């Protein structure tokens, strides 16, 4: 816990240095601190020391933790697999962004749930760039088509794209997948009029590569909060 502040300071300094190195120092990057498995105290600690956005990947866990957060928060991000029977619960937490919409079916369920409450929701489309079967996300080939279909839902605003790189110790392995996502992002953005402007890619081990490839939203867990202990998940 004592390390959270220094982890954030170090990470922010590293991000600034990296942005400068690649000539992107004037661009705004959103840093989402991924707090899954970590206690609310840790989230409060991070929010006290310069974090404004937090991310969780399970609705149950978010339902327990988010209402207990005592520090000011700009955005709660939902970044995990979303089951349709958890949509209503998730919406009570008023997510800033849902990163993990990957099918027309899920989008339609979300649109309907929002319609009942007269709200709109900002979402990202998750693309499975690596093609690994255990991962969520629409296939690279079908991503643009899905974005176009979802654009018809008045309660949803597609704000950009998300992907998860390879879990390889060598972050270079993720580069080609990040490039793929950026190519769809640029294509969709070219004829967008309603704020398609988030490219969510890059985690603790591969965020530098993600920034080089154009990411403007990093989802960082262990580099801020330390290693996760799934035994004591809470
Ligand atoms: C856990 C998680 C992260 C953060 O992972 P770290 O490697 O700890 O930085 C980012 N994105 C998603 C979707 C996650 O589930």
Taking the chain (234 residues) in consecutive chunks of 10 residues, what is each chunk's mean pLDDT?
A: 90 98 96 98 98 98 98 98 97 98 98 92 97 93 95 95 95 97 96 88 98 98 91 49
34 lines ligand 1 (CB under 6 A): yes
152 CA from centroid of ligand 1 (Å): 30
230 CA from centroid of ligand 1 (Å): 13
Q: Which atom of ligand 1 is nearest to the CA of 228?
A: 8
Q: Is residue 128 in some structural domain?
A: yes
Structural domains in the chain (count) = 1
Q: Is residue 23 in some structural domain?
A: no
Left if phi > 0, otherwise alpha if psi is -120 to 50, otherwise beta: which for 181? alpha
Other Cβ atoms closer than 10 A to 157: 16
Q: Is residue 104 in some structural domain?
A: yes
Report the CATH number that the domain containing residue 72 is assigned in CATH.
3.20.20.10
Q: Is residue 125 in some structural domain?
A: yes
Q: Is residue 234 in some structural domain?
A: no
User: Distance between CA 74 and CA 19 in Å, rounded?
Assistant: 23
Q: Is residue 233 in some structural domain?
A: no
Is the CB of residue 71 less than 8 Å from the CB of residue 47?
yes
Range of the domain at 127: 4-18+29-227
Is the CB of residue 136 less than 8 Å from the CB of residue 163?
no
32 lines ligand 1 (CB under 6 A): no
Is the CB of residue 212 less than 8 Å from the CB of residue 174?
no
Atom 7 in ligand 1: which residue has the minimum CA distance? 204
Q: Would you give the DSSP letter of residue 49?
A: T
pLDDT of residue 231: 60
């Amino acid at each position: 816990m004592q390390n959270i502040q220094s982890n954030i300071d170090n990470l922010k300094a590293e991000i600034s240095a990296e942005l400068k190195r690649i000539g992107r120092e004037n661009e705004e990057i959103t840093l989402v601190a991924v707090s899954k498995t970590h206690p609310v105290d840790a989230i409060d600690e991070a929010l006290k020391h310069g974090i404004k956005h937090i991310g969780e990947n399970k609705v149950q866990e978010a339902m327990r933790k988010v209402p207990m957060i005592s520090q000011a928060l700009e955005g709660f991000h939902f970044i995990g697999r979303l089951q349709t029977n958890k949509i209503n619960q998730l919406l009570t937490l008023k997510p800033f962004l849902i990163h993990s919409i990957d099918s027309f079916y899920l989008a339609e369920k979300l649109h309907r749930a929002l319609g009942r409450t007269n709200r709109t929701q900002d979402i990202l489309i998750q693309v499975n760039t690596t093609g690994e079967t255990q991962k969520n996300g629409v296939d690279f080939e079908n991503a643009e088509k899905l974005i176009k279909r979802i654009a018809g839902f008045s309660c949803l605003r597609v704000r950009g794209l998300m992907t998860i790189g390879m879990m390889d110790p060598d972050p270079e392995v993720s580069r080609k997948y990040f490039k793929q996502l950026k190519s769809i992002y640029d294509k969709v953005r070219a004829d967008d009029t309603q704020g398609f402007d988030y490219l969510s890619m890059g985690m603790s081990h591969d965020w530098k590569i993600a920034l080089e490839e154009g990411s403007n939203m990093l989802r960082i867990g262990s580099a801020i909060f330390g290693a996760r202990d799934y035994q004591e998940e809470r």
